[in-house]
Amino acid sequence: MLMRRWMAVAAAPLLVTGCSYFGSQHADDWRGRTDVDSAELAINTVLRDIDPCGFVDAESIKAKIPRAISYGYAEGFDRCTLRLGAYDGDFTSDVSATIGFDFTPDPGEMVEQPTDAVQVGGITIIHMLGPTSNRGWCRYVFNLGVGDVPDPSSRGGVADLMKRVRVEVRASLSNDPGPGRPIYPCKEAIAIASGAAQIRSRQLPGRSDSVPFPAGQDPCALFPDLRDFSNYSPGGTGMGRGLYGCLFSSGPPGDPKTHRVRMTLRPVDPHEPDTSSYGDERHSVVEQRDGVELHVSTVTRRYDKPFCEVYVFLGSEYRPTYFTPERARPEDVRVPGAVLRGTSSCDDIKDVAAAAGKRFRP
């Protein structure tokens, strides 16, 4: 009797804590196991259904940037990467660019500096300076617009948040020109942004079957397949809000005993598990777990204890689209993948990786 009473008393605060932390009245609904606002979750779903590479006006770019090489999903599924060849100026450097999404800053955030604007197809494209040094890169933005966006529901502030979504074009040099040298790849950036705005004025480019899987998938949808994790948080590093990253946690934020695994769905160089420069030393092996092939690396960084990093290949190799076929390069090959790191044990990270391999393979 005493044991039963102790268990009931111990369980009560856990239930209360769970309700207050997750803010959900439906404990069996995994989507409520996060403290991220429901409006932001809805926006993430909308943006994953849009194809960033669908904003590439290939013919216009070939005419304005004749040295351009390719475009496609080379760095992330939330952005389209364009390789533009050598910089057209008296500075030796390659130029690349990305098309992705961002949000107008929240009140109180570091202020952007709009410098000039142009109209293309009825859309205003703004040249935006960042709050710190802008050398070596150039950025243009325009509002995505909500008129034909699928289901911009007004519930939970979704429509208001959707109005803040922008298409962002950022061009950058591979070499830093150094302080005092006003070198910016703005010619390339405005050429890409103008073509993107022209396309947006006609249509909203949705995901097509040609986009590598798992582009368009919610990485946090893995949560119901996992054991020993009590909550999740969407997001990650990179442009926009990290549409393809998810952090799985065993307890509340701030608790030092909480174990966490971060998973990112992204394009992977087939040789990356063995050659990644992340960390100071790396030892990699290939393992099988639950029928899924895992590329497991023990990574050592100076001043930190070794940690585990796991790669899972989720599909077939693919290449970007080339503006001219003769510019194809072997190093452009990518594989859809999941990359996992965390503070959990390596066995826990492998378990999550195996679950990802099962869920996100086409």
Q: What is the pLDDT of residue 274?
A: 84
272 located within any domain: yes
Q: What 3-state class would DSSP assign to 7?
A: helix
Name which residue leads in pLDDT, 60 or 240.
60
Q: What is the pLDDT of residue 106?
A: 78
The C-alpha angle 115, 118, 122, rounded to 5 degrees, equals 140
Are residues 267 and 336 located together in one domain of the fold? yes
Name which residue leads in pLDDT, 276 or 185.
185
23 located within any domain: no
Distances in whole angstroms, Cα of residue 132 to Cα of each of 18, 51, 179, 181, 187: 41, 30, 12, 15, 21
- The whole-number average pLDDT for the span 62-73 is 96
Q: What is the pLDDT of residue 19?
A: 35
20 located within any domain: no
Please check whether residue 258 is in contact with residue 245, taking contact to mean a CB–CB distance below 8 angstroms.
no
pLDDT over threshold 90, residue 171: yes
pLDDT over threshold 70, residue 279: no
Residue 93's pLDDT band, with cuts at 50, 70 and 90, is very high
- The whole-number average pLDDT for the span 63-72 is 96
**Rounded mean pLDDT of the chain?**
85
Q: What 3-state class would DSSP assign to 209?
A: coil
Sign of CA dihedral 224, 226, 232, 236: negative
pTM for this structure? 0.86
Query: DSSP class of residue 125?
Result: E
Residue 28's pLDDT band, with cuts at 50, 70 and 90, is low
Residue 148's pLDDT band, with cuts at 50, 70 and 90, is low
Q: What is the pLDDT of residue 132?
A: 67
22 located within any domain: no
Helices (H) and strands (E) in the chain, counts: 7, 15
- The whole-number average pLDDT for the span 202-222 is 92
Q: What is the pLDDT of residue 11?
A: 35
Q: What is the pLDDT of residue 188?
A: 96
Are residues 230 and 188 located together in one domain of the fold? no
Please, how many CA atoms are within 13 Å of residue 106, restricted to the half-sphere of its CB? 3
The C-alpha atoms of residue 94 and residue 137 are separated, in whole angstroms, by: 12
Are residues 285 and 259 located together in one domain of the fold? yes
Are residues 66 and 131 located together in one domain of the fold? yes
Share of the chain above pLDDT 70, in %: 85
Last residue in a domain, options 157, 177, 202: 202
Are residues 179 and 239 located together in one domain of the fold? no
- Comparing CA positions, the residue from 95, 85, 94, 98 lying closest to residue 56 is 98
Which residues contact residue 69 at a Cβ distance below 8 angstroms, ignoring those fewer than 6 apart?
Answer: 83, 84, 85, 322, 323, 327, 329
Residue 70's pLDDT band, with cuts at 50, 70 and 90, is very high
The C-alpha atoms of residue 252 and residue 20 are separated, in whole angstroms, by: 11
The C-alpha atoms of residue 246 and residue 236 are separated, in whole angstroms, by: 7
Are residues 123 and 233 located together in one domain of the fold? no
Q: Where are the alpha helices (DSSP H) in the chain?
A: 2-22, 38-48, 58-64, 158-162, 186-202, 272-275, 346-359
- The number of domains in the chain is 2
Last residue in a domain, options 151, 179, 202: 202
The C-alpha atoms of residue 13 and residue 97 are separated, in whole angstroms, by: 51
31 located within any domain: no
166 located within any domain: yes
The C-alpha atoms of residue 167 and residue 306 are separated, in whole angstroms, by: 39
Are residues 118 and 99 located together in one domain of the fold? yes
pLDDT over threshold 70, residue 52: yes
pLDDT over threshold 80, residue 152: no
Are residues 235 and 303 located together in one domain of the fold? yes
The C-alpha atoms of residue 100 and residue 200 are separated, in whole angstroms, by: 13
Sign of CA dihedral 172, 270, 325, 50: negative
Are residues 218 and 182 located together in one domain of the fold? no
Residue 7's pLDDT band, with cuts at 50, 70 and 90, is very low
Last residue in a domain, options 168, 202, 236: 202
Give me the domain span that covers residue 291: 212-359
- The whole-number average pLDDT for the span 323-351 is 93
16 located within any domain: no
Are residues 81 and 180 located together in one domain of the fold? yes
Name which residue leads in pLDDT, 125 or 18.
125
Candidate ranges 7-16, 140-149, 262-271, 325-334; pick with highest mean pLDDT: 262-271
pLDDT tens digits, residue range 223-265? 999 999 999 999 854 334 579 999 999 998 778 889 999 999 9
Q: What is the pLDDT of residue 135?
A: 83
Are residues 348 and 240 located together in one domain of the fold? yes
pLDDT tens digits, residue range 280-319? 778 889 999 999 999 999 888 776 778 899 999 999 999 9
Distances in whole angstroms, Cα of residue 313 to Cα of each of 33, 217, 352, 360: 28, 15, 14, 10
Determine if the peptide bond prior to 214 is cis (ω within 30°).
yes
Please check whether residue 197 is in contact with residue 125, taking contact to mean a CB–CB distance below 8 angstroms.
yes
Distances in whole angstroms, Cα of residue 196 to Cα of each of 6, 10, 58, 60: 63, 57, 10, 10
19 located within any domain: no
Between 125-134, 195-204, 345-354, the lowest mean confidence (pLDDT) is in 125-134
Are residues 198 and 224 located together in one domain of the fold? no
Tokens of 208: 């097509």
pLDDT tens digits, residue range 105-138? 877 776 788 899 999 999 999 999 876 667 899 9
Report how far apart the first and last C-alpha atoms of the chain are (Å, whole number): 52
